[in-house]
Amino acid sequence: MTGRFIVFEGGEGVGKSTQSRLLAEALRGRGLEVVTTREPGGTPGAEAIRALLLGNEGPGWGARAEALLFAAARADHVEALIRPALARGAWVVCDRYLDSSRAYQGGGSGLEDADILTLHRIGSAGLLPDCTVLLTLDPAEAADRVRKRDAGAHDRIGGRAAEYHARVAAAFKRYAEAEPERFAVIAAQGAAEAVHARVLAAVDHLCA
């Protein structure tokens, strides 16, 4: 039996890592094998690229180089971890995936969505999640969460201007509206357990 692939998306501070962990714990409680992972990262090669992309040393990368690096990290991640896990029947729960590249390098930095999708088709054979959980939160509340979490120590992308992150949020919204069969849009305000209950209700159809 082929496994299921669930991705958490959204801007900074919406609770993707927390909700990924809670969903994985709930699925394991149902007797499923669950692999939790993240992007960029998840494999040694992809984690090395993550350090290049998010570290604050040096001048950084232009939008096109950034998109190529994310696509390269994803290609290794998909080939070495995600596809093998799905093939043996495991469920994969991933913190960020393709739609983050579309929203950040596309919506935020202005690259064409078609170009980012082409990179994904070449690097990862176009693999898409069974369900993409888009967590949404008021920007002021999200920014407050980030301040408390990071104590001012942003990574290279997270520390960009509010206008950039507003474009990212708008892009995520467009993608969810265009593909309602793939996206589950979940309000991320309130206690983590309350958000988790909304997530479970949204993904339960995959367990049928």
- Give the mean pLDDT of 28-51: 96
Domain ranges for the chain, please list them.
Answer: 5-207
How far, rounded to the nearest angstrom, does the alpha carbon of residue 203 sit from its chain's CA centroid?
Answer: 16
What does the mean pLDDT of the chain come to?
92
- Residue reference for tokens 């979940």: 186
Q: Stretch 169-176: mean pLDDT, rounded? A: 96
- Comparing C-alpha atoms, which of 12, 43, 51 is closest to residue 136? 12
Average pLDDT score over residue span 54-76: 89
Q: Per residue in 84-132, pLDDT tens? A: 999 999 999 999 999 999 999 999 999 999 999 999 999 999 999 999 9
pLDDT score for 149: 72
Q: Which residue has the higher pLDDT, 63 or 144?
A: 63
CA–CA gap between residue 49 and residue 79 (Å, rounded): 15
* Segment 170-192 mean pLDDT: 96
pLDDT of 197 reads 97
Question: Phi/psi at 172 (nearest 5 deg)?
Answer: -55, -45
Mean pLDDT on 47-72 = 89
CB atoms within 10 A of CB 14: 27
**Does the structural domain 5-207 have CATH classification 3.40.50.300?**
yes
Average of per-residue pLDDT across 194-205: 95
